[in-house]
Chains A and B, each alone.
Chain A
């Protein structure tokens, strides 16, 4: 079983279609699973210019026509897209020479396709819950949100195991859908540290000049400029940091709070100390993460916190708020610095501490890098995921479906 385990992965996004974090997650998980001997068939939505079928690093990728049926709204589109995804996936699974051993669905966006495939082929279904509607909306307020929440609950009910990427999400999903402990598995999210290796070899000195003066320390924020990401906490902490250290604050990303943040900076008379870059391409962003003196993640709500992992992979020291997935990624004073969430003084203290103590900064970035190489490595994650698959198939083999 170990050499030819076949999994069909369902995801509404896969590169080059990138909407959020599921796309890179499924990309790296799939190719790393192939490396540990799993046959992976990804069924995903189409994207202009991307072929309907291709093999990427051993992963068989099939893209379905996701706009085949006109739809009145986004949520209805999701279910209509699932209709076609299920049909195409069923056709593919039926004509493969060997049988698919299990189906793996990512989030409610592919719930109905996954549930139907489970029953018609009588194979186990696994679900990874990357986020929840109740978490995203801070509660359930409308009929659409309730429908999505109930669809998520149904997916977790039908799944043999539910995978979450942090202990925080395990607890959250358990609470949101009332799941038993033995149904939940924590398999961490990963980070591709190789792209930072390449960026790290390039010269920082001249690159830095695009963003900061040579005598300024570079403080980096990367994230959507929305309330839960806490950029406003960082902006409010800037004067306190500048009392002790000469620094430039580079804020990468966009969102509805951008104008508001810029006006706070202006009112403080600190426009020369803060730079809003908007979106940056991947190459520039990775170089910036590699060259930053400290990366700050001041989120108020964070299911996982991939941006902290990326910073650690780039060997940057990190200061994060002690919440959600971030609490698990960073060990205080060892692999980074944790500060109180939504607390300007605490955040300013953390940033100042890292910037003023060169030895401490080098030490936490070294430890942080070692930690992500050991714990958030895709190879390790693929092995753990394969173990989950094998465990499920072991239980399945004793069921009347086998």
Chain B
């Protein structure tokens, strides 16, 4: 199975917990014989590397250096994510799925799905409604719209707790059966991830 992980933070770039989690995920996937690619952002350590954990990692920078907000930054970075993911697809002829962490690279995942038919899992680490509680300015609503697009287009959604699953259902009215729980605190978490992947790669679409 060939999987690409999209994450906006990955070691050595550590913003929050997501960086360490996606690194542990990539390590475990390789150990479980998954052909693992990581696409992430770094302002200057750009290019393709084969990391000690065995995951083929590509770090991209934004071709547009000046921005007026995180939205314009994210929306221009997505084209680079698409470029790298398309390269992986065309070099290998096949990508089974993309695992997208949080909203940042949802636009790229949606285009890759529309253009090349690659399914994606939307793995939720946090939601805009929690990060900016109750904020409904256009800036926040735009991010929420992108999260909504992710929920709508994803083949499967994963949350890290039952509480987060229920929050996704409450805020975005996503049917419960589309959301799986992958709790990194449990010993067999990687099996939960692999089960989700196999379900999708096997062609079982929940929508």
Residues of A close to B139: CB separation below 8 A: 72, 76
A80-95 Cβ-contact flags toward B at 8 Å (1 or 0) = 1011001100110110
Would A86 and B111 count as touching, CB distance under 8 A? yes
State in angstroms the CA–CA spacing of A71 and B72 once bound together: 11
- Please name all residues of chain B whose beta carbon is closer than 8 Å to the beta carbon of A91 when the two chains form the complex: 114-115
Residues of B within 8 A of A1 (CB): none
Within 8 Å of chain A (Cβ to Cβ): is B20? no
Residues of A close to B66: CB separation below 8 A: 143, 146-147, 150
| Chain B residues touching A, majority SS | helix
Tally of contact residues, B, Cβ under 8 A: 34
> Any chain B CB within 8 A of the CB of A121?
yes
Contact B68 A120, beta carbon cutoff 8 Å:
no
Query: Which residue of chain A has its CB nearest to the CB of B116?
Result: A120
Contact B75 A112 (CB under 8 A): yes
Asked if B115 and A120 make an inter-chain contact with CB atoms under 8 angstroms apart, the answer reads yes
A120–B82 touching, CB < 8 Å: yes
Q: Is A68 in the interface zone, CB < 8 Å from B?
A: yes
Q: How far is the CB of A93 from chain B (nearest CB, A)?
A: 7
Per-residue A-contact encoding for B104-145, CB less than 8 Å = 1, 0 else: 000110111011110000000000000000000111011001
A122 within 8 A of B: yes
Collect the chain A residues with CB atoms within 8 Å of residue B87's CB.
Answer: 119
**Residue B175 at the chain A interface, CB threshold 8 Å:** no
Count, chain A residues at interface, CB 8 A: 34
Are A79 and B75 closer than 8 Å at their CB atoms?
A: yes
Docked complex Cα distance between A109 and B63 (Å): 16
Q: How far is the CA of A82 from the CA of B111 in the complex (A)?
A: 11
Cβ contact within 8 Å between B115 and A76: no
Q: List the A residue with the shortest CB-CB distance to B82.
A: A116
B170 at the interface (CB under 8 A from A): no
Residues of B within 8 A of A202 (CB): none
Check: B69 CB closer than 8 A to any chain A CB. yes
Our pick among B64, B86, B107 for the contact of A83 (Cβ within 8 Å) is B107
Known A112-B79, A146-B66; contact A120-B72, beta-carbon cutoff 8 A? no
Are the CB atoms of B68 and A150 closer together than 8 Å? no
State the Cβ distance, A152 to closest chain B Cβ, in Å. Answer: 10
- Of B68, B76, B78, B117, the residue contacting A143 (CB under 8 A) is B68
- Please name the residue on chain B nearest to A151 by beta carbon: B64
Q: Say yes or no: B75 contacts A120, CB within 8 Å.
A: no
Chain A residues within 8 Å of B138, by CB: 70-72
A4 within 8 A of B: no
User: Chain A residues near B117 (CB, 8 Å)?
Assistant: 94
Q: Which of A93-143 contact B (CB under 8 A)?
A: 93-94, 112, 115-117, 119-122, 143
Given contacts A69-B145, A119-B86, A122-B90, contact A87 B79 (CB under 8 A): no
Report B-chain residues with C-beta under 8 Å of the C-beta of A182. Answer: none
Q: List the 8 shortest-distance A-B pairs measured between CB atoms, nearest first.
A: A79-B75, A90-B114, A90-B115, A70-B141, A146-B66, A119-B83, A120-B115, A70-B138
| Given pairs A72-B69, A76-B71, 9 additional interface contacts (CB within 8 A) | A71-B142, A79-B71, A82-B75, A91-B114, A112-B78, A117-B115, A120-B116, A143-B67, A147-B64
